[in-house]
Amino acid sequence: MLTKPTILVVDDDRKTVELICMYLEKDGYFVLPAYDGRQALYLARNKQPGLIILDLMLPRVDGLDVCRILRSESRVPIIMLTAKSTEDDKLVGLDLGADDYVTKPFSPRELVARVRAVLRRANAQEDSGPAEIRCGDLVVDFVRHEARIQEEAVHLTPKEFSILETLIKQPGRVFSRLELLENAFGFDYGGFERTVDVHVMNLRKKIEPDPSEPKFIQTIYGLGYKFENEQDL
């Protein structure tokens, strides 16, 4: 029987932490509680949990800063948990590399289901595909979670990298915006499909020789986007 991973639960409200811990432990997870950002960083670095549930509003170190720092150090799955629910709030957290976003008040059973889903996706990504893909001067390294052009690292946000990873692993396949949301971002945002266009535009600026005439990421009007491997042209 496989041992379930450790979950780090971070929230300054102790009752919320106790509730989440109770449901996760009932589902077989070992849980670490933390009540501020500094404690969260310490436990994440020293205990290396398999997933982190992270509140946005934290004392000592803000939840967004915790997410930013952790994402620069590892690919540990992160579920944001917060009372903020506007589109901008969600996109900031997701752009920093959060894998999912749950707003308060929440259903503990739904949160546990989200934990299972995020862990499944993380395991699937680790188990599938090559370590890197090369297309001309562009190299996408899935181990280091980075892109390089002529061996120079290109700074991509976590979501830009996720979109690029999804497209480049299936060159020639057309992905709709909704598919990119579900495959690259991990779940359906509902009304956020158009945010894919913004991410693609920014991605093109970083990897295309001429973003106005992209050779890698092609727009298929009325359908979505596909990656064109220049070796296939």
Q: Residue 31 pLDDT > 70, yes or no?
A: yes
Q: How confident is the model at residue 184 (pLDDT cuts 50, 70, 90)?
A: low
Q: Which of 127, 150, 176 is the last residue of a domain?
A: 127
What is the CB-side half-sphere exposure of residue 210 using CA atoms within 13 A? 3
Q: What per-residue confidence (pLDDT) applies to 233?
A: 39
Query: Which tens digit of pLDDT belongs to each residue from 165-174?
Result: 889 988 999 9
Query: What does pLDDT average to over the chain?
Result: 85
Q: What per-residue confidence (pLDDT) applies to 93?
A: 73
Q: Residue 156 pLDDT > 90, yes or no?
A: no
Task: Look at 197 and 144; give whichever has higher pLDDT.
Answer: 197
Q: What per-residue confidence (pLDDT) applies to 5?
A: 87
Find the mean pLDDT for residues 17-46.
95
Task: Look at 90 and 148; give whichever has higher pLDDT.
Answer: 148
Count CB neighbours of 126 within 10 A: 11
Residues 42 and 69 grouped into a single domain: yes
Q: What per-residue confidence (pLDDT) applies to 3?
A: 67
Residues 13 and 112 grouped into a single domain: yes
Residues 83 and 182 grouped into a single domain: no
Residues 104 and 204 grouped into a single domain: no
Query: Which tens digit of pLDDT belongs to each residue from 124-155?
Result: 666 556 778 999 889 998 877 789 998 898 98
Domain of residue 177 covers 132-232
Q: Residue 86 pLDDT > 70, yes or no?
A: no
Cis peptide before 209 (omega within 30 of 0): no
Could you give the number of structural domains in the chain? Answer: 2
In the chain, pLDDT over 70 holds for what percent of residues?
87
Residues 104 and 161 grouped into a single domain: no
Q: What per-residue confidence (pLDDT) applies to 219?
A: 94
φ, ψ of residue 96 to 5 degrees: the values are: -75, -10
Q: Residue 1 pLDDT > 60, yes or no?
A: no
* 226 burial type by CB count under 10 A (0-12 exposed, 13-18 middle, 19+ buried): middle
Residues 42 and 96 grouped into a single domain: yes
Residues 11 and 106 grouped into a single domain: yes
Query: Which tens digit of pLDDT belongs to each residue from 32-84?
Result: 999 999 999 999 999 999 999 999 889 999 999 999 899 888 889 999 988 76
Residues 74 and 176 grouped into a single domain: no
